[in-house]
Amino acid sequence: MSASAHRPAVPTISAYWQWAPILCIPIVALLVAGRQVYLNRYHDLTTWKGGGMGMFAGADSSLNRYAKVFIADPRGERQPLTELTPDQSDLVKRALNYPVRRNFLVAARAIATLDWIAKRQRMPVALIDSKGKNVGTAAESYYLMMPFGTRPREEKWKWDIQIEYWKLSYDPGTRRAYAVLAETFVFRPEELQPHERS
């Protein structure tokens, strides 16, 4: 009998590498799930994004989030933008899924590429009761702003854009929904200028 016949088999490096892909899959899945839970908990990422962790268990969806967009002049007077273009509306909807400043900045820059004009008369704010019926008008009123063509690149944007991020919340005691202002993002004119391409 030779000495080589009595030696135990030593695993080769290739045997260890055979297990590496099997171990990587659960590790990557845990990292993805952990990141989604972190972003949902601390950065308000909707549960319907990021792999679907909790999407059926949570009541948070795009229908429960909305934004109000305003142009503010140097005196601080705000006028609502009610007629965003389809591309601008899409950018705002995307930002609502992950409502952080940089996502709303993309939408604000797209809004600042257009000229906006006010409709001729101010519109009073309608007061709505809990059943959705009109119960009158408030003392405040606004000019409704609408797009009026593309702004020339050399013309500087002069106003702030304010985007209010709102969420619906539910009171289990009364079984009623109510809106909560989650955050207001203010974008200064210097942030909204188009970047020069070299």
Q: What is the pLDDT of residues 16-54, one digit of tens each?
A: 777 777 778 788 877 877 777 777 666 666 665 654 555
DSSP alpha helix (H) spans, the chain = 13-43, 86-97, 101-111, 189-192
Q: What is the pLDDT of residue 195?
A: 61
The secondary structure element, H or E, covering residue 125 is strand 123-128
Q: What is the pLDDT of residue 197?
A: 46
Query: Who's near 143: CB < 8 A, 6+ residues apart?
Result: 79, 118, 119, 121, 122, 123
Can you list the residues of the chain whose pLDDT is less than 70?
1-13, 15, 40-62, 194-198
Structure tokens at 43: 């950065």
Q: What is the pLDDT of residue 51?
A: 47
Sign of the dihedral through C-alpha 25, 30, 35, 40 = positive
What does 15-27 look like in DSSP terms, one character per residue? HHHHHHHHHHHHH
How many angstroms separate the CA atoms of 16 and 181, rounded? 54
Q: What is the pLDDT of residue 59?
A: 56
Q: What is the pLDDT of residue 198?
A: 40
